[in-house]
Structure 1
Amino acid sequence: MAGFEKLGTEADWVALSLAEQISALCNGEVDMLACLGVTTERQSKVVFGDPIIRTGGALFTIERQPTELTRIVTPSAGPLVAATQAAYPTCSVVEVDNYPQALRRVVDGHADAAALNFHVGSQVAEREFPGKFVPPESTFEEIYLAPAWAPTHDTVFRNAITGVLAAMNPLENS
């Protein structure tokens, strides 16, 4: 990330599942999360920097999807469970462990759609199931992604990263 280079800091990137992210941060296993969806629930657990991208929850469907959705899957650790239930009150919302599992349920016919982050879901769908999913045309829930720190973080480092990111104007590119 250019922000670390500008600070003369080398970053070690750690792959974490959605379910592991906040606990790894709060337990000191990682110093920050580069991009986490900003939600009221998460704001009580972590400290967010300024948003760096505007994205949102979108429905991922395949060509032969029924015209009326009845079953939607979404990862339980993500911010879209309640938003999906609110946006689609007549649908059954089923929680799964991760993005690939949600998409697999749709491909296998066990769900009509997967409610996922628009940007991340698009990448995972194309990587795991090339050409199977119709690209979402819109989002049903707006979500901002921002860097996140544990409540007991290094304030000087956070302020430095936040300053570099603000100078890059990331939201202008979303």
Structure 2
Amino acid sequence: MDKNRKNKGYLLLEILICLFLFSVLVFVVSVFLKRIVIIEKRKKEDQIIYENLHFTGYRVIEDIKNRSMEKFLYESISDNIHVRQNEILLKKEGKFYKLEHEKGKLYVSDGNNIMDLGKKTVVGKYDKVEFKRIDKLLVIILEYKNNKEIKILNLF
């Protein structure tokens, strides 16, 4: 009778091998998915940084384009815009505006008088902000976390 009887069940060893293979497969897939999540998160952060750089550059350019063309005296120089490496001073709609990069942040301040521009307001965090005036061109370089935005504007 034992010879005619067939075992149709699984051995404990077969079940353990299947569980081991399944756990290895789940581990490999989870590592792969974790990497995808990290990459997507970094892409999203980079996109937000790039958008902020682009928007700030655009707003600065628009404000400079719409400035008053009347000259004013600042540090013994008469011009309608004063540019240094880390600051810009301009006049728009009867008010003076000063953009400056200091301690990793870009600030804007405004006022009716050059000597009293009021409180600085933070525009954003940046690793490096440079303003360069080359003849009739203004070059603005904004950098943050290996993202760089360069804007060039004809001042006249």
Normalised by the length of structure 2, the TM-score is: 0.20
Higher strand share: 2
Q: Higher relative CO (CA 8 A, sep ≥ 6), structure 1 or 2?
A: 1
Q: Which of 1 and 2 has greater Rg? A: 2
Normalised by the length of structure 1, the TM-score is: 0.19
